[in-house]
């Protein structure tokens, strides 16, 4: 089956052929630099905070969006 596909690709335009015959390399093994748990936790907190912030802002100001003004004491 691969031979049929390869033959079809070889008959294509040379520009398409060069792109379609590229092979991805897989890199496996241990990471070069170890990231500490504290750094991972801090980054996770920042990502969570920034992804929740717009929704929380809208919920906090929902009365403004509805046009209802609440008197502040």
Whether the pTM exceeds 0.85: the reply is: no
Sign of CA dihedral 9, 10, 13, 16: positive
pLDDT digit of tens for each residue in the chain (73 aa)? 667 667 776 676 565 655 555 667 787 888 889 999 999 999 999 999 999 999 999 999 988 888 876 666 6
> How far is the C-alpha of 56 from the C-alpha of 31, rounded, in Å?
36
Q: What share of the chain is helix, strand, coil (3-state, %, to 5)?
A: 60, 0, 40
CB 18 within 8 A of CB 7: no
How far separated are the first and last CA of the chain, in Å rounded? 77
């Amino acid at each position: 089956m691969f031979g049929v596909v390869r033959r079809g690709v070889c008959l294509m335009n040379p520009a398409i052929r060069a792109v379609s015959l590229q092979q991805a390399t897989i890199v496996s093994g241990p990471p070069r630099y170890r990231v500490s748990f504290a750094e991972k936790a801090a980054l996770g907190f920042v990502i969570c905070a920034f992804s929740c912030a717009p929704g929380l802002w809208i919920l906090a100001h929902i009365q403004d969006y509805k046009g209802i003004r609440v008197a502040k004491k």
